[in-house]
Structure formats: structure tokens, C-alpha cells
Amino acid sequence: MDLTIDSKESLVIEEQLSRILNSSLFRKSKVLSSFLQYIVSETLDGNGQTLKEYVIAISALNKSPDFDPQLNGVVRIHANRLRKLLDDYYQTEGVNDPIIISIPKGRYIPSFKKNIELTKEVADTAVHTIDEIESKPLVAVLPFENIQNNKTIDVISSVMCHDLNVELTKFPEIGVVTPYYDHNSSEYKNDIREMVVDLGVDYLITGYCISEGNRIRISVELNACDGNKIIWAESFYLDDVDSNTFGNYKRIIQKIIARTCGFFGLIYRNTLNTHVPTNYDCLYAIYWHNRYHLQFSEEAFNETMRAVDIGLEESPHSALLISFKAELYLNLVVMNIEGDIDFLKLGTQLVKKAISYDGTCQHAYQVYAWSNLLNHDHIEIYRTIEKCLAVNPNNPMYIGAMGFGYICAGDYEKGLDLMLESTHLNPFYPWNLNFGFCFYFMHTKDYEEALLWAEKVNRKKFLWDPMIRASILGWLGKKEEAADAIKELLSLAPDFSQKAPDLINAYLLDKDLTKNITDGLLHAGLKI
């Protein structure tokens, strides 16, 4: 068990710290010694909860006050190195030391344990059958190989590696390491293995470039270091090489980033499909937020709210977590859920708070756009959509979500363009975009096409699913199928006829579209 630190035990821990710092392993690294000494001393002084990346960077690593942990992963890197060095120490010089000082993954507050418990702790860990993660995924981009020793390719490879790293830093849910290695070195492969182990890298983006006439083929791989698996690979062609225009270079960068990053990108999909988050405060909430979006069920809603509240206990000023909570409350408005509080008002207040804490949180602006739709704020909706897109224009999830926002606001062509762009960049998209396409084709009165998209929604417990199908089937004159959809709708909301006008107009600002939906329901046989 963790020690309850009183003055006597504090002295014992300080003596243990002194042994570690005077060991041959730690005398070789002033940086890691300073890191360890700082976090142990602060914890013994009762300041453990203040040990965040920024504080450690300034106080222990002598970084400047403008240090940004979202753009610089140096604290995470040194923390992983420190964990490994402590493991090495306790397997060699410190094997018989009375106190074990360790740093659990996903946090910087050290743990102090009596050595007699070490054997039991290792045994307990060994019986776990589910992989666990306690920190956000760490990604590294390696310079793409130049198979032909072509100088132009050397330049392209170096610039692409840099540009990918720049774009990766715009996704705060991942950490980024920027190692550079000499591909001509005989120790290149050993360097990669050492980096993966020492820095705790979870994913590698690698590739090679080869000249093919007036264009260059760029083959890219996303590798999961756990199990050494390739989870995605694709080739792109860089055109107009001889003219040095490289017309589609930015598009290639955009596609690589879109496929790999974001909550619906391959990195997070692979991470959350194969691991169970346990400690990192935001990651556990992200895990359940993704599950909620995939299932959109009451059970997933409740688990997500619980996960968000757990995260907020640790990080009460997290804009991402607060915007998650705001989103959950706002979704209750369109789910026909009644309560003692005003969900729309509460959700709006929360998302405004999230933005006040972090004006660069893209998810907060997405939720604020949703709030403005529900509040029927025709002016503010456009401002928040534009702001959301400006934060990170390469995140397909938000591109699609803002396209859906434009559709709901009645700006159909602009909305369609963004949703098509989103699905082109990443074919794995949130299910609610199907509603966006459905609304577009209802607007154009192409009901056959609208029905195809409505059937893709497939959220039987969400009343908008049978409601929209019933309306479209009513317009198509398919009476039996429309009657079945109406039956589904009334099983979810028996009093729907009385609430229909409010629900249909909840977030759709185009009165022609809401009348279209209402008329379709009347054709289907529903009395409103």
C-alpha cells in the first residue's frame, strides 16, 4: 500500500531519494535527477496535486514561462525515461533498498512503497488479462526513406516530416515526439527500437518516397508499437515534381493527418478498441464519449457522464471535459428527456465556461455551435462554426460536424460540401452525419436518396430515427412501412403528437424543412 506520509516516514523517503540520486545510474543524468528530486520534494511538502506538465517544465527542467505542453512533449519524454531508469536502478543497485519510489504512468505524483510489497505488486500485475493505458497515445514521425538517394526526395522527406509534426501538435489528445535519425546509419533499426522503449512511443508514422517520372510516390504506414503491427498503409502521388510546384502536397498532408488523428482517427480507434483506460483523467472520458457516440444509448450516456465527472474531479478546469458534459446535457433536449433542470440553459452555460478556460478547444466550439442551433441563434451559429473550423482545419470529425451545423441552419450547399470533405478525408465518420445528408435530400425533395441516408442512421432507440423514416416513407407513399415507423416512434414517445412541433423545430432553423418533415408525418398517418 502507499505510505501515509508523516514526518518520520518523510525522512525515510528523503534518505531513499538520496540513495537513488547518488547511484551511478542517476549521477550520469542531471536532468532526470532534477526531475525526480523535484517531484518527490513537492509531494512530501504536500504539493503533489500541482505536479502538472507545465509546472515541472518550468521548475525542474528550466523551461521558459512561455512553454506550451501541447506543443512540446519534453516532460512526457523525460518522465518515461525516468520510469525506465528507476526500474533499472531497482533491478541493480537498489534491489535491497527499503523503499520503492516509482512514477505511475499517466501522472507525475510519485508513489512510495515498502520493498516487501514489491513482489506481491508484480504478481498482482501479472494476472491482468486486459491491456490498460493510463496516458494519451504518444506518436513519432520518422523521416521517410529515400530509396533512390534522390536529393529532391531528401528535401521532400525532411519537410514532410516537419509538417506532419506541426499538424500532429494541433491534436491535444495525443503526445508528439520528434526524433531524427540517419537512415544511412547501420544502427538505425536499433535506434528505433531504443526510442520506442525509452520514450514509451505508442505509434510510429513511417514511409518511403520513390521517384516515378514527373511525380513521386509516397508510401505511408501507421505502426502500432505494441505488437509491431501495421494498422494502416496507403500510397499517395506528389505531382508536378519537375516544375517544383507540388500542387497536391498540402492535400497529402491533410489526408495522412485526417486518417490517423482525432477521436475517430485510426490512432484513437485502435487505442480505445484494444485497451481500457484507467488513470489519465481525460482519456477515460474520451473512451466513453466515443462509446456514447457509437451507441447513443441511455447506458452509454450514463457511463459517459460518470467518466466525465471522474475526470473533472482531477481536472476541474479541463475545457474538453466541461464541453463533453455540456454536450451530454444539450443532447437530452433532442432526446425528449425531461428533468427538473433546464438542460439547454445548463449546457449553454457549461460550454461557455469551457471556452473561457481554453479558447483553443475545438470540441468546445463544436458544442457551442450545437448550443446556438438549439437556442435558434441565427447569427452566433455562423460565428462559432467558423471559429471551430479555424482551430484545426484538418480534423475531419469537426469538418463534418460543422457541415451538419450548416445543414441545420439551412445553408445546404455549404453544409454538403463540408460533409463530403469530411467523409472523403476519413470514411469512418460519426453516424449523425447521415441525418445531415438525409436533411439535404429532403430539402431537394429527392426522397429516395433521403431514405437511403435515413436507413444508415440505425439508432432505433433515438426517436429522430423512426420519425425521419416515417416522414420520408409518407412522402414516398409507402403506407405499410410508414405505419411501422410510426409505431416505432410512438413506442419511444407515446405523447409525440403533442410534442411534435417543438421537437421537429428543436435544432432545424429552416422552416421549409420542418414543414416538409411535418407534412411527411401527416402523409404517414400520424395525427399532429
Q: Do 436 and 420 contact (CB within 8 A), yes or no?
A: no
The string of pLDDT tens digits covering residues 330-349 is 999 988 788 889 999 999 99
Position 399 scores a pLDDT of 97
The DSSP string of 287-334 is: HHHHHHHHH--HHHHHHHHHHHHHHHHH-TT-HHHHHHHHHHHHHHHH
267, 261 Cβ separation under 8 angstroms: yes
Domain positions in the chain: 7-129, 138-270, 280-393, 433-528
Q: Under CATH, which number does the domain 280-393 receive?
A: 1.25.40.10
Here the cell at position 399 is 469538418
**3-state secondary structure at position 208:** strand
What distance in Å separates the CA atoms of residue 425 and residue 429, rounded to the nearest whole number? Answer: 10
CB atoms within 10 A of CB 499: 15
Give the chain's end-to-end CA distance (angstroms, integer). 63
What kind of fold does domain 138-270 have according to CATH?
Answer: Double Stranded RNA Binding Domain (3.30.160)
Name the grid cell of 30.
Answer: 542531471
Stretch 289-304: mean pLDDT: 86
Reported as a single tens digit per residue, the pLDDT across 258-286 is: 999 998 899 988 888 777 666 556 778 88
Cα–Cα dist 429/423, whole Å: 6
- Asked whether this chain's domains 138-270 and 433-528 adopt the same fold, the reply is no
Query: Are the beta carbons of 154 and 298 closer than 8 angstroms?
Result: no
- The Cβ of residue 379 has, within 10 Å, a number of other Cβ atoms equal to 7
Q: For residue 494, how many other CB atoms are within 10 A of its CB?
A: 9
Band of residue 7 on the pLDDT scale cut at 50, 70, 90: low
Instruction: Provide the pLDDT for residue 4.
Output: 47
Positive/negative CA dihedral, 77, 83, 89, 91: negative
Distance CA(102)–CA(31), nearest Å, equals 17
3-state secondary structure of 210: strand
What is the mean pLDDT of the segment spanning 363-368?
97
Collapsed DSSP state (helix, strand, coil) of residue 344: helix
Please give the pLDDT value at position 412: 98
CA distance 354 to 367: 10
Q: What are the DSSP calls for 39-87, one per residue?
A: HHHHHHTT-GGG--HHHHHHHTS---TT--TTT--HHHHHHHHHHHHHH
Which residue type, as a one-letter code, is found at position 361? C
pLDDT at 228: 78
Residues near 132 by beta carbon (within 8 Å), at least 6 away in sequence: 275, 276, 277, 278
pTM comes to 0.74
Q: For residue 243, which phi and psi values (nearest 5 degrees)?
A: -85, -5
Backbone angles phi, psi at 443, to 5 degrees: -60, -40
Please say if the pLDDT value at position 155 is more than 80. yes
Average pLDDT along the chain: 86
Q: Which CATH superfamily is domain 433-528 in?
A: Tetratricopeptide repeat domain (1.25.40.10)
Residue 309 has what pLDDT? 92
Residue 525 has what DSSP assignment? T
How many Å apart are CA 353 and CA 242, to the nearest integer?
52
Distance CA 181, CA 36 (A): 28
